[in-house]
Each structure stands twice: as structure tokens, then as C-alpha cells.
Amino acid sequence: MKKLFILCVSTFMLVFLLVIIFNKNAFAIVFKCRSFNSSSSCFIENVEADVYQNPNKVATTLLQAARLKRIGLIGGDFRAFSLTLHRLGSAFYDKKYSYDTLANHCPALVKDGCIHGYVMQYYAVNGFDQTKNLCESDVSYRLQVGCYHAIGHSYAENTLGNINYYQNTCKQIATGDMYIPCLSGVIHEFSRGSSNSHNHESYYESTPTYAELECNQFESSSVEYFTCYAGIGSFRQYDQNSEDIKHTKELCLMAQNSNAKDVCISMIRERVAISHGYAFIPR
């Protein structure tokens, strides 16, 4: 019995040592911050410390932290890294990484926030037309989806118009499967409103929400209506400081279509899963 106990303890210690070795970047931050809370300000600041100097190291650290979060060795809400991942993508752009190789460098976390950050920085520097050309280039499906989603974000963020206006723009620039990622980027911007320094009415000041009212401009059986409610469920639970889940669910239940209700609520669940370090990557 004693030998068995010693064997079990030795095996546990060996496994734990291997976990530390294979996740050394993340554990170094845990020990430095004296905290197992991945969404603490200390943890995030230390992850971000090398974003512009060594973005590949930061990408590795984020993947390690997500792995530790999934197996329960660290706590916190991984949605806290949404801005970190966008800054990481911006850093890859500033360091002249080619977009067609970005999937090899960006960690597949928080709905591909790193890829979105790259494209949104590209848009800020080069404008709409060149970003549209980037999205049309010969890249993987994952990069195409990320590009069209990000251009929808950036265009809605930097211009004035209603959802119908942006819908027509997305139809003009995106064909086939890429129309929906573009429109979903637009809807996300409407979901967050002017409280985040954007051009649209704040959802905090309207009941029902501005985005929900815009969704009702679409036919309840249309793919646009479906996408609009998916955007509400997803973006209103975007980061760790998002509104109460019960309130977002109440908005989902306003949908006139059962499929739209279901997808809206499923997007809430997806954001909760993201908070635990899981990734959702388009194939």
C-alpha cells in the first residue's frame, strides 16, 4: 500500500512538472503575479508586456494560459483577453507579417480576435478599398471569414448609416458565404452602441435595444434576421464585464422566429465557453 501511495504521488508530481514545463510562459506569470486569476490586471499586463516586441511569444503564452484554464489550473474569465488578442493582431500587422501566413501566428482564441485586430489595423492604415482587396485575396477560409467580419466592424465604426445601408455594402463587397461574416461585424458594432465611442445610439439608453429594433427591419424568416439576433447574443456577452446574461436572454426571447431565439441563446453559451478558454474556429 505504501509503495502504491509513493507511486501515485510520484506520478502526480511528474505530470504536474511536465504541465509546468510545457506551459512555462503562463506559469511564470502566475508565479510573478502570485495569482491564479488569468483575468487579473497583473496577469493581463504581463501577458501584454511583449505584444509589440515579441508577438509570437505572447501568442504562445495565450495558448498556454487557455490550456491551463480549460483544465482548471487557473481561474478568471478568458474574455478579458479580447483586447489583448486584437492588439496582438495589430502588432503582427505593424511588424509586416503577411496576411496569408497569419493563421500560423495568431492563436485560435476568442473568436479569432487576433485576426480581426490585424484587419482592423490594416483598415485604419489603408482604408476601405485596400482592405476589401485584402479580403478578396487567395487565403484560407478562416482568414477570409475573419477579414470580412473585421471589415464589417471597421466600416460601421468609421461611417454613419443604418443596418440596411451596411447590409447593401456587405452584399456589394462579399459574395457567397462571406456576406454573413461581414454583416455580423456590422451588427456587433450596433450591439455595442455609442457607449463605446461609436456612431450609433447606445443600447444602455433604449428598451428594447437599438440593435433589436434594427433586427426587426428584416423579415423574420431571413438570414439577416437570424444573423442579427446571433450578433446580439454574441456581442452583448463579448467581455468579462458584459451585461447580466439574464438580460441578454430576455432580448433573445424577443425574436419573432424560434430559430433566431435559439441561435441568439447559443451565442451566449458560446461566449461563456470562450470565457473558459475554448476556441471556435471557422472551417
**DSSP result, 77-100:** -GGGGHHHHHHHHHHHHHTT--GG
Cα-Cα-Cα-Cα dihedral sign, residues 260, 262, 263, 264: positive
Per the domain annotation, does 280 fall within a domain? no
Per the domain annotation, does 113 fall within a domain? yes
Per the domain annotation, does 281 fall within a domain? no
**Same-domain pairing of 8 and 106:** no
**Same-domain pairing of 64 and 179:** no
**Same-domain pairing of 4 and 90:** no
Residue 50 φ then ψ, to 5°? -110, 15
Q: Final residue of a domain: which of 76, 103, 135?
A: 76
Q: Does the pLDDT of residue 202 top 70, yes or no?
A: no
Beta bridge partners of 37: 75
**Same-domain pairing of 30 and 109:** no
**Same-domain pairing of 262 and 158:** yes
pTM: 0.88
**Same-domain pairing of 198 and 160:** yes
**Same-domain pairing of 131 and 255:** yes
Instruction: Give the tens place of pLDDT for each residue, 49-60.
Output: 999 999 999 999
The percent of residues in the chain predicted with pLDDT above 90, rounded, is 58
Bond preceding residue 208 cis, omega within 30 of 0: yes
Beta bridge partners of 75: 37
Instruction: Give the tens place of pLDDT for each residue, 224-248.
Output: 999 999 988 988 888 877 788 998 8
Per the domain annotation, does 98 fall within a domain? yes
**Same-domain pairing of 55 and 140:** no
Per the domain annotation, does 283 fall within a domain? no
Q: Nearest 5 degrees, angle CA 141-CA 100-CA 60? A: 95
**Same-domain pairing of 96 and 40:** no
Q: Final residue of a domain: which of 46, 76, 106?
A: 76
How many domains is the chain built from?
Answer: 2
**Same-domain pairing of 54 and 151:** no
**Same-domain pairing of 38 and 147:** no
Look up the domain containing 181 and give its range: 85-275
* pLDDT for the residue 209: 63
Average pLDDT rounded to a whole number, residues 70-77: 92
The DSSP code for 1 is: -
**Same-domain pairing of 229 and 149:** yes
